[in-house]
Amino acid sequence: MANHPSALKRARQSEKRRLRNKMIKTRVKTASKDVEEAMKEKDSQKISKSLSEAVSIIQKAAQKGVIHKNKASRKVSKLMSKAQSLLKTQA
């Protein structure tokens, strides 16, 4: 364990950041799962609503630096393409 006051403070800050990042990552995963669930139900309105929420959450996570911007872009692209293919088959 740290002995110097600055190291103790750094440990406290790191723990706060770790918990905050964990919370944000959990929100990203939950939002993605909500979109997948809506796709299984094949409800177009629910898909579009959950997709827009998920995109917002993912982009905010990338903006805060919790996940890399390219990873966020990949996640959004993957969700969008799945949703579009599902919505095309319904039309």
Q: What is the CATH number of the domain that holds 66?
A: 1.20.58.110
pLDDT at res. 78:
96
Residue by residue, DSSP assigns 27-56 as HHHHHHHHHHHHHHHT-HHHHHHHHHHHHH
Domain limits for position 27: 5-90
pLDDT at res. 56:
97
CA distance 79 to 36: 8
Per-residue pLDDT of the chain (91 residues; tens, 9 = 90+): 778 999 999 999 999 999 999 999 999 999 999 999 999 998 889 999 999 999 999 999 999 999 999 999 999 999 999 999 988 887 6
DSSP assigned state of 4: S
pLDDT at res. 91:
62
**Residue 58 · residue 77 · CB < 8 Å:** no
**How many Cβ atoms are within 10 Å of 30's Cβ, its own excluded?**
11
Number of domains in the chain: 1
